[in-house]
Amino acid sequence: MPRLLRILKQAAGLALVLGISSFVIFALIEAAPGDAATIMLGTNAAPDTLAALRAELGLDRSFLVRYVEWLLGLLRGDLGMSYIYKTPVADLIGERLMVTLPLAVLATALSLAIALPLGVWAANRPSGPVDTVASLFSQVGIAVPNFWIGLLLILGVALGLGLFSTGGFPGWSAGIGPAFSALILPAVALAIPQSAVLTRVTRASVIEVINEDFVRTARAKGLSRTRALWRHAVPNAMLPVVTMLGLQIPFLISGAVLVENVFTLPGLGTLAYQSLSQRDLIVVQNVILLFALIVLVANAVVDALYAVIDPRLKGRT
């Protein structure tokens, strides 16, 4: 199939999935009882005040009108106005991405920094002491939820040792140091379960590759064991690791919702949670759609990476 056609087909598929997601998201939130006006006015509001506010927010219009308006806005690149904050949703999301994106990148970098050396090392000497530690780490890491790790880190590292921030985000304007300090513990909390899975996958994959002919050939040509391992075995063992990294993106997002709440970080996860409980419908719709988009794009990127890592897979989709 010509390359352009394939890309177009993929893009159309993406648009279709996003379109369906948008409707499902809109309908589900619409079905939940209560609306933004009810929450904004509190428990003492008179019915006519409520009606006035609903009219002001445009909530008195029908479900379909609001849905279509949202879609048309999206096509123009206009995400709408938050009912609650009275601020453009795009601005809100932009602000929050400044926290969540660095957090996710940091967490992924940390988890790779732990998982790759640990997994490879463990594979190099199966049943050795490092392998035992790695296996214990991956079992505990997978079993313990990230928000719980977050709480432990707050109690132990932040309050106990007085290191790093316990919560909140000083803003990037406060400088790299304080901003990083606020992100490091949540990133660790997110990274531990992720690296536990990656360690296990790396180990298994390297063990599989290490006994293949090409590694033996490399050794026979005089390469040291370590060099043969890193130069030939590890790159060829990366395919399952990349797959797993891609698969973990949804977990990273859902983890971020919990971890951001534990650390009171004003990120995308907190925004999603907060706007859902405040029925700030328009914000929830956009944030969840963005999550869906991230997952879909991540999958596409992983697919593309396959071809780079293993040229044998090129053209197969």
Partner 1 sequence: MTPHLRHLAKAVSLAALCAAVPFAAMAAGEVTFIQPVEPTGLDPSEDSPVAAGQVTWQNVFEGLVTIDRNAEIQPQLAESWDISDDGLTYTFHLRPNVTYHNGAAFDANVAKFSLDKLIGPDSTNGQKALYAAIASVEVADDMTLVVTLSQPNSDLLYWMGFPAAVMVEPTSAATNATAPVGTGPFKVDEWRKGDRVIMSAYDGYWGGRPELDTVTARFIADPQAQVAALKSGQAQVIAELGAPELFEQFTSDAKFTAHAGAGEMEVVAGMNNTRPPFDDPRVRQALMMSIERSALVDVVTSGYGTPIGSHFSPASPFYEDLTGTYSYDPEAAKALLADAGYADGFTFTFSVPNRTYAQRSAEIMQAFFQQIGVTANIEITDFPAAWVTQVMTGRDYDMTIIGHAEPLDINIYARHPYYFNYENPDFDATIAAIAAATTPEARAEGYKTAQEIIATDVPALFLYSNPKLGVWDAGLQGVWENGPVPSNDMTDVRWAN
Positions touching partner 1 (CB under 8 A) are 32-36, 38-49, 52-53, 56, 84-87, 92, 95-96, 109-110, 113, 116-117, 151, 154, 158-159, 162-169, 171, 176-178, 180-181, 184, 230, 261-264, 266, 270-271, 274, 277-279
Distance of alpha carbon 38 from alpha carbon 192, whole angstroms = 40
Nearer to partner 1, 19 or 160 (CB): 160
Nearer to partner 1, 48 or 213 (CB): 48
Phi, psi of 81, rounded to the nearest 5 degrees: -115, 130
Distance of alpha carbon 226 from alpha carbon 140, whole angstroms = 28
CB of 146 to partner 1, least distance (A): 16
CB of 28 to partner 1, least distance (A): 14
Nearer to partner 1, 67 or 273 (CB): 273
What letter represents residue 225's amino acid? Answer: R
CB of 108 to partner 1, least distance (A): 12
Nearer to partner 1, 10 or 38 (CB): 38
CB 177 within 8 A of CB 196: no
Distance of alpha carbon 273 from alpha carbon 254, whole angstroms = 11
Residue 131: count other Cβ atoms within 10 Å of its Cβ.
19
Number of H helices, E strands in the chain: 15, 0
CB of 307 to partner 1, least distance (A): 23
CB 288 within 8 A of CB 70: no
Tokens of 154: 């707050």
CB of 209 to partner 1, least distance (A): 16
Distance of alpha carbon 216 from alpha carbon 113, whole angstroms = 27
Nearer to partner 1, 246 or 266 (CB): 266
Nearer to partner 1, 118 or 296 (CB): 118
CB of 315 to partner 1, least distance (A): 30
Nearest to 111 by CA among 195, 196, 198: 195
Beta-bridge mates of residue 88? 81
Nearer to partner 1, 35 or 131 (CB): 35
CB of 299 to partner 1, least distance (A): 26
CB of 20 to partner 1, least distance (A): 26
* Start-to-end Cα distance in the chain: 10
Nearest to 244 by CA among 193, 187, 192, 302: 302
Distance of alpha carbon 119 from alpha carbon 135, whole angstroms = 9
- How big is the CA angle at 275 (ends 273 and 277), to the nearest 5 degrees? 70
Distance of alpha carbon 240 from alpha carbon 246, whole angstroms = 10
CB of 292 to partner 1, least distance (A): 21
Nearer to partner 1, 2 or 33 (CB): 33
Distance of alpha carbon 113 from alpha carbon 171, whole angstroms = 26
Nearer to partner 1, 139 or 226 (CB): 226
